[in-house]
């Protein structure tokens, strides 16, 4: 199975890709992750360093493929996930699609491309041209990483359009959306209602996800470092989710740093481990869904105007409701103050009602 992970720049594709790769490896699969970005940092949290790119290696060998060995370009990362970085052309020159093609060509020359159960392409940014869409030519499924925001869903819609276009000539399907680090999902739900597609998972807003990238470790490795074996391989997400969400308490340290000051270090460490393990189960759930080889969909993207109207209406509705609540609270305070100062409550109530009738 070959997967291509797309999403808006900075949305968390590489963090998501690395953790999904490990989750698939923990399910017994042989996994290769290919970073398709000139920054060549896709596999950084798997290997702990920036590995040499295939393009750099080919240049050093004067593009003599016969002089390149698997160990020159394939590096083993955490949990046995193999890693390759395609690299890219110099800034402002060349095409990223050509680099992806050369990467696949070399892996085939090394008899490595077909040795893996799963190959995951981690692709930079939005799809703005055929070059950026090149990994879709080799993929069975596309996965879109987004958040509950305007820009992330605009990028997701454009990626959906590229999947539909590639599906005309390739056996490609959209496996679904992954919402990354979001406290709400109302815009995501609004979008998939208008443009039907599966939602594989929505990851909660938790600081450890962001910190894992800074620390150069996957969440699975962080869990192992914090509290020993991190994952119950037979765990069921519904079992984990059946009780109170562990993030209700554990994530507070990312929101209010003072909370840990009043608790012991042991308890704080336990909270961190619980939160990380909880998130790891989300990635395992995504892996389990992918391993069922879902039917997937060929999406029908919205036009830019339709999407703008859909999301802006939703945001405007939210802001209107928030404004009404704020005004109601303000009128209530005035009502209370007015009664103390001899002002008739009825006049304030009437003015409150007249405001919303305008």
Q: Is residue 126 over pLDDT 90?
A: no
Domains of the chain: 2-230+271-307 (3.40.50.300)
Identify which of 102, 109, 92, 124 has the alpha carbon closest to the alpha carbon of residue 56.
102
Query: Could you tell me the two tokens for 100?
Result: 């992806």
Convert the pLDDT of each residue in 284-331 to its tens digit: 999 999 999 999 999 999 999 999 998 888 776 665 555 555 555 665
Taking residues 280-286, what's their average pLDDT? Answer: 94
Convert the pLDDT of each residue in 68-106 to its tens digit: 999 999 999 999 999 999 988 777 777 777 888 888 999
Q: Which residues are annotated as a binding site?
A: 10-15, 39, 95, 129, 180-181
Q: Is residue 250 over pLDDT 80?
A: no
Contact yes or no for 172/139 (Cβ under 8 A):
yes
Give CA–CA dist 251/7, Å, rounded.
25
Q: Which residues are annotated as a binding site for [4Fe-4S] cluster?
A: 95, 129
pLDDT band at 132 (very low <50, low <70, confident <90, very high): confident
pLDDT: which is higher, 346 or 211: 211
pLDDT of residue 153: 93
Give CA–CA dist 203/282, Å, rounded.
7
Q: Which residues are annotated as a binding site for Mg(2+)?
A: 14
Contact yes or no for 199/222 (Cβ under 8 A):
no
Q: Which residues are annotated as a binding site for ATP?
A: 10-15, 39, 180-181
pLDDT of residue 183: 83
Residue 123 three-state SS: strand
Cβ neighbours, 10 Å, residue 224: 19
Convert the pLDDT of each residue in 168-205 to its tens digit: 999 999 999 999 988 889 999 999 999 999 999 999 88
Taking residues 15-42, what's their average pLDDT? Answer: 94
pLDDT of residue 268: 66
Give CA–CA dist 285/71, Å, rounded.
32
Catalytic residues: 8, 13, 39, 126
pLDDT of residue 331: 54
pLDDT band at 215 (very low <50, low <70, confident <90, very high): confident
Which pTM does this prediction carry? 0.78
Give CA–CA dist 142/145, Å, rounded.
10
Taking residues 22-51, what's their average pLDDT? Answer: 93
């Amino acid at each position: 199975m070959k997967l291509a992970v797309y999403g808006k720049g900075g949305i968390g594709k590489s963090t998501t890709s690395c953790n999904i790769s490990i989750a698939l490896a923990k399910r017994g699969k042989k996994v290769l992750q290919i970073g398709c970005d000139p920054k060549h940092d896709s596999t950084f949290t798997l290997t702990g360093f920036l590995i040499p790119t295939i393009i750099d290696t080919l240049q050093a060998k004067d593009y003599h493929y016969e002089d390149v060995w698997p160990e020159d370009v394939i590096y083993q990362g955490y949990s046995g996930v193999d890693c390759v970085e395609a690299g890219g052309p110099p800034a402002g020159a060349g095409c990223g699609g050509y680099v992806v093609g050369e990467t696949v060509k070399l892996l085939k020359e090394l008899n490595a491309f077909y040795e893996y159960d799963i190959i995951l392409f981690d692709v930079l940014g939005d799809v703005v041209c055929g070059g950026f869409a090149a990994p879709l030519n080799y993929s069975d499924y596309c996965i879109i990483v987004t958040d509950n925001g305007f820009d992330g869903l605009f990028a997701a819609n454009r990626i959906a359009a590229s999947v539909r276009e590639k599906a005309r000539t390739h056996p490609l399907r959209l496996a679904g959306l992954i919402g990354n680090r979001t406290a709400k999902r109302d815009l995501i739900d609004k979008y998939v209602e208008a443009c039907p597609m599966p939602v594989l998972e929505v990851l909660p807003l938790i600081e450890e996800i962001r910190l894992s990238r800074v620390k150069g470790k996957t969440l699975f490795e962080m869990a192992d470092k914090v509290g020993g074996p991190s994952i119950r391989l037979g765990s069921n997400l519904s079992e984990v989710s059946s009780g109170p969400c562990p993030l209700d308490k554990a994530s507070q340290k990312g929101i209010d740093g003072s909370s840990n000051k009043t608790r012991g270090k042991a308890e704080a460490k336990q909270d961190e481990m619980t939160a990380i393990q909880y998130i790891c189960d989300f990635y395992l759930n995504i892996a389990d869904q992918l391993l069922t080889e879902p039917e997937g969909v060929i999406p029908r993207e919205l036009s830019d105007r339709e999407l703008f109207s859909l999301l802006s209406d939703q945001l405007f509705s939210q802001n209107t409701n928030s404004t009404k609540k704020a005004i109601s609270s303000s009128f209530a305070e005035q009502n209370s103050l007015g009664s103390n100062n001899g002002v008739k409550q009825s006049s304030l109530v009437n003015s409150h009602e007249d405001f919303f009738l305008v």
